[in-house]
Structure 1
Amino acid sequence: MKRIGIAVNQNKPSAVDVTGQLVELLEAKRVSVLVDSGVADQIGRSDLAMDVQHFPGKVDLVFVLGGDGTLLGVARQLAFFDLPILGINLGHLGFLSEAEPDDLHSAVDRVLSGDFHLEKRMMIEAAIIRNGQVIHNSIALNDVGIAKGSFGRMVTLSVYVDDMYVDTYSGDGLIVSTPTGSTAYSLSCGGPIVSPHINVIVVTPICPHRLNSRPFIVQKNQEIRVEVSATHNDMGVTIDGQVGYKVEANDTILVRKSSHYTTLIKWQERGFFDVLRQKLHDPN
């Protein structure tokens, strides 16, 4: 493992300092390093600068310095290239990260010695269809949200699985998530926690206006079709809570498993439920 790219959220207060430390550690181990262009100049290493989207073919893996949101964004950028990602948490929760700034020496040593395993995380893709034409396509690691805007009234969403009618939900919207995304927005809306080793798709209503509206889970190879109905156009689709598209009444959203995965670098001794307890603050 001789070529490593570093993607950085430079808005994090410690981002520049940690990036500098990481570059020094890697170069001391004779590792070839490329650094996110926005930060390379700030650490005085413009010779290492490269935009993250150009990492594929130039590096063997990517260190992501930031929080979960940073890692989600990088995962979408690199989804088509199967580059392993190690998250180094500079954020608050860091649920997807495997290392902390205090562990840089250990993290570098473990990666270079191969003391880790690769975890394939399922992704989903969404298409927005208007008047029979696909107007937007996108890919997500966490979730696809279909919801009303801040001041919009309720939306009504008719849901089909493989063309079989499931139910019609009136409320704030709907979340379609991966197992990785089951611990994010879906969880806060009452959705189930799903182990990332089980490739399924979770559908969770957002503030449904009916007592019997409940989340449900479908197989990974099934397609979710959502038909939108509303008396207003203050609605949108969000991808991982970061990318948004306007939606109009009578639009259709198709969500299915993507053929691409995010590959995360994980330590052998840290299981999913260990991380779950730690990050969600189990007092025991």
Structure 2
Amino acid sequence: MSRRVLVLAHTGREESLKAAWEACAQLHASGIIPVMQKSELGDMEGFFGAMDQPVEILHDHIQLPDVELVMVLGGDGTILRAAELVREVDVPLLGVNLGHVGFLAESERADLAQTVEWIASREYTVEERMTIDVQVWVRGQKIWHTWALNEAAIEKGDRERMLELVTEVDERPLTSFGCDGVVLATPTGSTAYAFSAGGPVVWPEVEALLIVPISAHALFAKPLVVSPRSRLAVEVLNRTDALGVLWCDGRRSVDLPPGARVEVTRSTTPVRLARTHQTPFSARLVRKFELPIHGWRGPVPQSEQVHTGPVPIVRTPRTMAPPSGLRPYEPGSESDPPTEK
């Protein structure tokens, strides 16, 4: 049975078009049929000319469930777009970073040929990343329902006016404050918008939800990490007529009038990411953020048996021997010091 890999690229950039061209050629050479979206294939061939090998077109020649893997060429934004495309099918994403940080990507541009070899030999694993379910209610009516891989961000709609919000966890109010917004994030999103707003970095395997205020005017407005089973909510208060806007993964948005309520829970549908090598998350942090690690010595080697030397005896003043010619003081003896009458 033929193997097919969908190649998604940010075709607005020349570097991305070149990477897509090389990926399709290398997939063909490895015996894998490349698949592209019609518009992206047209952009690529319009720049380089027709390919020598055929490329199948998604939804014309093949459907998403028939694709083994999606190879995403671009930054995190391109990967988030790909996640929207494959959300309802069981197809993993493998990102090749062509952007700046590219935290969701597995490989870099220089590793493109090696990445194709790993795909051809099936040397990759698949991990599931938590997503969130997002609902918006206005006057008791649900006006919007979507999802997010990184975060749902409530922001002020007017730069000149502060947004008045109240946060809620498990159907109980937590605190209210004026702010620029609040980020409700997943562990995957902890290194995205939530990180920029001062939130903690959460390891991907940790199941949790994050609440990160943005420039809040309040004493108790710290980032919170709560249970993945919790139900989070943020309400836009009616103290002012300031409007808000909700952004999910920076790609989908809806306006929030005063009185609007945003509810966030864990979604039952995760996003699947392919990994070609088991790099610890700490090493990914160091590489992506270029963190200084000079002077690190590493763990102390452990042996099966630990041998220690003799324990030294430390003498205290009460146990030390008296100087020569003197005898120790004994209570009640004739040498007791006189007491005042």
- Could you say what the CA RMSD is over the residues aligned between the two structures, in angstroms? 1.8
Residue aligning to 1:102 = 110
CA shift digits 1:215-273 (9 cap, x unpaired): 11111111111111152343100001222111100011110111111111113331211
Alpha-carbon displacement from aligned partner over 1:182-241 (angstroms, at most 9, x marks no partner): 011111111111000011100000000013310111111111111111523431000012
Indicate the larger mover: 263-272 or 93-102. 263-272
Gaps of 5+ in 2: 294-341
Counterpart pick for 1:163 among 149, 171, 177: 171
Contact 1:233 1:247 in 2 (8 A): no
Match of 1:109, SS? helix
Evaluate the alpha carbon distance shift between residue 272 and residue 55 of structure 1 in structure 2; reply closer, same or farther with a 3 A threshold.
farther
Offset at residue 76 of structure 1 (A):
2.3
Does 2:43 correspond to 1:35?
A: no
Distance 1:185 1:241 in 2: 9
TM-score, normalised with respect to structure 2: 0.79
Report deviation, 1:114. Answer: 2.1
Matches of 2:252 and 2:156, distance apart in 1? 15
Match 2:199 to one of 166, 191, 200:
191
Match 1:254 to one of 237, 259, 263? 263
Rounded to whole Å, the distance in 2 between the matches of 1:255 and 1:55 is 31
Deviations 1:13-72, CA, capped at 9 Å, x for gaps: 3111111111111111111221122221223258523369x8522311100111001101
**Structure 2 residue aligned with 1:238:** 247
In structure 2, distance between residues paired with 1:185 and 1:252 = 21
Gaps of 5+ in 1: none
Correspondence 1:62 to 2:63: no
**Contact (CA 8 Å) 2:233, 2:263: kept in 1 or not?**
yes
Q: Which residue of 2 aligns with 1:20?
A: 21
Query: Structure 1 residue runs of 4+, over 4 Å off?
Result: none
Alignment partners' CA distance in 1, 2:23 and 2:156: 42
Conserved? CA contact 2:130–2:270, under 8 Å? yes
| Structure number having the greater strand percentage | 1
What is the percent sequence identity of the aligned residues?
Answer: 30
Q: Distance in 1 between matches of 2:195 and 2:255?
A: 24
Instruction: Give the count of matched residue pairs.
Output: 283
The match for 2:316 is: none
- 8 Å Cα contact 1:4/1:31 also seen in 2: yes
Structure 1 length-normalised TM: 0.94
Paired with 1:243 and 1:152, the residues of 2 have a C-alpha distance of: 23
After the TM superposition, which residues 79-90 of structure 1 pair with which residues of structure 2 at under 5 Å, given as runs? Answer: 79-90=87-98
- Counterparts of 2:114 and 2:215 in 1: how far apart (Å)? 44
